[in-house]
Chains A and B, each alone.
Chain A
């Protein structure tokens, strides 16, 4: 591909600008948001705490992960599905409704794109429920290498006990569905 040197330099600068645009926009949105983010808490269960490349991290099952929907309402499992969230008095998140179109969501509402969407089935009476499963996207939490063993032991104990959802994940929600996980902690203030 023969091109003049100046044109090449110009195009390369443009491509670098394109590359930097996404990280810069993300940092600006999170560090200097136009409106303060809404913080919500989620009950979580943690599994699989180590990865040789990424180091210490926990894979989380986040709750809520089911929602009742009006009868006859269906969602395309392969398409985009958004979950509208609401903050309860105790700071925990409540799943309000699922939506397939961003147009169904009011500008002031907090929402997030979800995956793993499928209709729940009741095998006892062989009937489809009017409820759908979804997976919230904050399924990883990276840990400090030095603090990790302690937290992993804690998580491991809790997973085995009946209080297996007793960990809390705090997430900040920004406009346009952007979110950032803030912290993972024990519900009773104990790490």
Chain B
């Protein structure tokens, strides 16, 4: 926002100079100035943002004070009054909601309506359980509140409520919460998320950040440590790497493709872990079918999304590498033999070489660095690997070092010719 403001101010300063130097006719200068001035006016002024922030802090502090005051006097009120007070935030939300819809108010109103309606519902249910001493599990309560937040979320298309929804979804990821609840919660949010992830959608970058957290929550909730989490985990890494590289390819910076680097890091860590320890790709003891179906539905959904994103662009070796890594995670389903250490070593080395080559050929520093990180990780893992003899390690490292020196010489010569 600040960048855009600076840019618009700069261009408005430049226009008279361009007219004075005869590069721009007076009429065009006036039209351009009107256009950019109107655009500048639509941006929120920093002072307005500061005032809004102060107002928010004031409201939160007042609300906290009221909560504590009511807390002190709470048991002195009759039950009906306590229920009435509990319903008050929801009432505010309802009034705001109706006004927002009826008068087609701005996005700020839509955000406030969505948040007040959902938090009003949460407060009412929580206070009711306090009034009647109906204790229960936090994840039961949170699941109910999240389900009730879905209609306002879609009706008001709220970014703030989306963020709250994703944040509070993590409360479902507890040891005794049923995995299907996490699946349902993620599924309810998925259509809104996908709609906002389209390139020209409103708040697309914000929802890209939320997408990663949603994936993380769904992975933890539907699979957790109980199942073979490596398969959906690797598929999610592939999904975010492929979609992230597509975004970067279209000119987006790494901050606008936020999950590319974390997904790549996680993928490399999984492979590095697998190359050192058989336990990483070990199948856990199989739980009952009534829990396993959630895992398979989630894994199938992730694989389908990965496939759809993968098929959108032309096939390249680096893109295919992500599919290969997902396929490798299926090996433990076929055999109990401890082959995954060797497989991961080969995969990490192969991936590194392919990315290095791709980066070199296409002059992509990102790809080249990715390859270098993979090779360096593999080298570091093997350097500290006590299972390999010192002599073999030293021979391997010398060969690798010479390879790098030769590659560097070739690279410099080709660069010199170019």
Contacts and interface: CB of A to CB of B under 8 A. Distances in A.
Interface string B121-133: 1001100101011
A-side interface mostly:
mixed
Contacts of B72: 55, 145
B191 to A, nearest CB: 10
B128 A12 contact: no
Given A16-B117, A76-B288, A180 B132 contact: yes
Given A142-B133, A144-B75, A77 B176 contact: yes
A77 B90 CA distance: 37
Contact of B101 (A9, A14, A55, A139): A9
Interface stretch (B150-158, B204-212, B379-387, B401-409): B150-158
Interface residues of A, number: 41
A27 interface: yes
A106 interface: no
Interface in B88-137: 90, 94, 97-98, 101-102, 104, 117, 120-121, 124-125, 128, 130, 132-137
A30 B132 CA distance: 8
Given A15-B151, A180-B132, A78 B104 contact: no
A78 B134 contact: no
A180 B131 CA distance: 9
B71 interface: yes
Contacts of A18: 148, 151
B-side interface mostly:
helix
B246 interface: no
Interface residues of B, number: 45
Contact of B75 (A79, A145, A182): A145
B291 interface: yes
B137 A26 contact: no
Contacts of B282: none
Contacts of B104: 5
Given A5-B102, A77-B176, A23 B125 contact: yes
Contacts of A22: 125, 144, 148
Contacts of B90: 16, 19-20
B121 A27 contact: no
B135 A26 contact: no
Nearest to B179: A78
27 contacts: A1-B155, A9-B102, A12-B98, A12-B155, A15-B148, A15-B155, A18-B148, A19-B117, A19-B121, A22-B125, A22-B144, A23-B128, A54-B71, A54-B130, A55-B71, A55-B74, A78-B176, A78-B287, A79-B290, A79-B291, A115-B176, A137-B135, A138-B133, A139-B135, A140-B135, A145-B74, A182-B133
Interface of A: 1, 5, 8-9, 11-12, 14-16, 18-20, 22-23, 26-27, 30, 53-55, 76-80, 115-116, 137-145, 178-182
Shortest Cβ-Cβ A-B pairs, 10 listed: A15-B151, A181-B133, A144-B75, A19-B121, A180-B132, A55-B71, A8-B101, A138-B135, A19-B148, A140-B135
Given A1-B155, A19-B90, 15 more contacts: A9-B102, A12-B155, A15-B117, A15-B151, A15-B155, A16-B94, A16-B97, A16-B117, A23-B83, A53-B67, A79-B291, A137-B137, A145-B71, A145-B73, A181-B134
